[in-house]
Each structure stands twice: as C-alpha cells, then as structure tokens.
Amino acid sequence: MARVPLIDETDSARTTLIAKLKKARGGKLINLYRILLNSPSIAEAWQAFNNAIRFNTALDDQARELAIMRVSQLNGADYQFQIHVTKYAATAGITPQQIAALDSGKNSSLFQPAHRALLAYTDAMTVDIEVSDAVFSKLKQHYSDAQIVELTVLIGAYNMHTRVGRALRIDPESP
C-alpha cells in the first residue's frame, strides 16, 4: 500500500495538470503520477524530464528498455519492471527469453554485443556506482558520445525512479 495518498484524477485543484499528465500517458493517470501529484510542481517536472530521457534521444527502443528493466530488476522495483515488461518490451523487440536472461545479460548470447556492453554499464552504475575503464571502453565501442550521455542520464534517472517507487511503495495499477 502506498505511503502517501493517491490523488484522484477528478481532483478539481489539479484539473489542468491531471489532463496534461493523462494526455502524455495515453489517457491514463498511472499510480506514479497519482503519488507525485501530492506535489504538483514535482509531478509536472518529472513528466517533462521522463519524456525527454525516454523519447527525445538517439537511443534505440531496445537499448532504452533493456536499461530501464535492468535498473528496475537490480533495485527490486516491481512497479517499474512490470510496466516495462508488459507494456514496452515486446514493442521494442525484446523477447521473453531476453527478459528472463537479464540477470546474466552482460554475458548472454541472447543479446548483441552493444546490448551486453549496455547491460554491464547499467550494472556498474547501479550496483557499483563507479564504472570501471574496462566497462566504459566496451560501451564506447558501440555508442556515440551523445548516446553515452543519454544512456547515463537514463540509468541515473531510473535509479531515482525505482528508489522513489520503492520508498513510497507505489502499487502497480489495477488491470
């Protein structure tokens, strides 16, 4: 159960922002935003930042979703993991076998070399914080400087995302 109230989408004090958030999320006000609406300025800024890091980059869909799912998995964030597995993974071309292999992704032949390097980088950023030169060097073989910055910010943001979700105990949406 969430630790702070879920703001109802009919809340008259936040009508304009709720409409904006729903529009950005395909017409649905997900629980993450229902929690964040306890602070409207945070909810609005979060949505703008999240859209930028997910949809306004040179990263391909698979790279983005693999990084998000791996961060979510490493941080034990079922809320984010389930959303990305059920709503975005297949569309990005990620197979159920690849999802099952995320634990060993940086060593799995189910992933292309670029994605293995990405998963090793994700693990280093999330678990070790410090990224070794060896891990960074492998990443650099596959991604441009701009993509590395975008990937680094995406991983950092989803570390924040997952930690906020866990700390506030955000529940998955009801079907």
Contact, 167 vs 81, CB < 8 A?
no
Q: How many residues does the chain have?
A: 175
Residue given tokens 């997900």 in the structure block: 30
pTM of the complete model: 0.93
**Cα–Cα dist 165/80, whole Å:** 8
Hey, which CATH number is domain 61-167, 3.10.110.10, 1.10.10.10, 1.20.1290.10, 1.10.20.140?
1.20.1290.10
**How do the domains of the chain map onto residue ranges?**
12-55, 61-167
Cα-based torsion angle of the residue sequence 158, 52, 84, 41 in order, rounded to the nearest 10 degrees: 70
Neighbours of 129 (CB within 10 A): 8
Region 104-111 average pLDDT: 87
Query: Chain-wide mean pLDDT for the chain?
Result: 94
Taking the alpha carbons of 152, 158, 161, 167 in that order, is the dihedral positive or negative?
negative
Q: What is the reported pLDDT for 175?
A: 63
Q: CA–CA distance from 85 to each of 10, 81, 82, 102 (Å)?
A: 29, 6, 5, 12
